[in-house]
Amino acid sequence: MSITVENVSKTFGSVKALQPTNLKVETGEFISLVGPSGCGKTTLLRILAGLEIPDGGKISLGDRVVYSSEDGIEVPAESRGVGMVFQDFALWPHMTVFENVAFGLRARKDTDRLKERVSWALERVQLGGYEDRYPKQMSGGQQQRVSFARAIVTEPKIILLDEPLSALDAVLRDGLRLMLRSLTDELGLTAVYVTHDQHEAMSISDRIVVMKLGEMLQMGVPEEVYNKPRHMFIAGFVGKSNFIPERVKLNGVDEGRHMTRPECLRLEKKNSDDLEFTGTVKTVSYLGDRYEVHLDVENSTWVAHFPRRLELEDTVKIYLSKEDIHTIKEGLE
Ligand SMILES: Nc1ncnc2c1ncn2[C@@H]1O[C@H](COP(=O)(O)OP(=O)(O)O)[C@@H](O)[C@H]1O
Ligand SMILES: [Mg+2]
pLDDT by residue for the chain (333 residues), tens only, comes to 999 999 999 999 999 999 999 999 999 999 999 999 999 999 999 999 999 999 999 999 999 999 999 999 999 999 999 999 988 888 999 999 999 999 989 988 999 999 999 999 999 999 999 999 999 999 999 999 999 999 999 999 999 999 999 989 888 898 999 999 999 999 999 999 999 999 999 999 999 999 999 999 999 999 999 999 999 999 999 999 999 998 888 877 778 899 999 999 999 999 999 999 999 999 999 999 999 999 999 999 999 999 999 999 999 999 999 999 999 999 987
Q: The sheet that has 242-243: what strands, in order across it?
A: 242-243, 257-260, 326-328
Are 149 and 209 in a shared domain? yes
Assess if residue 108 is contained within a domain.
Answer: yes
CB of 104 shorter than 6 A to ligand 1? no
CA of 10 to the centre of ligand 1 (A): 10
Are 159 and 293 in a shared domain? no
Are 231 and 310 in a shared domain? no
CB of 42 shorter than 6 A to ligand 1? yes
Are 93 and 185 in a shared domain? yes
Distance of CA 17 to the CA centre of its chain: 18
Indicate which CATH number applies to the domain containing 168.
Answer: 3.40.50.300
Where do the H-state alpha helices sit in 153-277?
A: 170-186, 198-204, 222-227, 232-237
Task: Report the predicted TM-score, pTM, of the whole model to 2 decimal places.
Answer: 0.92
Q: Supply the range of the domain harboring residue 312.
A: 241-328
Which atom of ligand 1 approaches the CA of 211 most closely? 22
Are 152 and 248 in a shared domain? no
- Which of 188, 210, 235 finishes a domain? 235
Indicate which CATH number applies to the domain containing 283.
Answer: 2.40.50.140
Q: The sheet that has 158-162: what strands, in order across it?
A: 82-85, 158-162, 190-195, 30-34, 207-212, 215-220
- Which of 199, 218, 235 finishes a domain? 235
Are 190 and 254 in a shared domain? no
Are 154 and 283 in a shared domain? no
Q: How many domains does the chain have?
A: 2
Assess if residue 333 is contained within a domain.
Answer: no
CB of 41 shorter than 6 A to ligand 1? yes
Are 186 and 308 in a shared domain? no
| Residue located nearest, by CA, to atom 2 of ligand 1 | 12
CA atoms within 13 A on the CB side of 312: 4
Are 291 and 197 in a shared domain? no
Are 90 and 206 in a shared domain? yes
Assess if residue 140 is contained within a domain.
Answer: yes
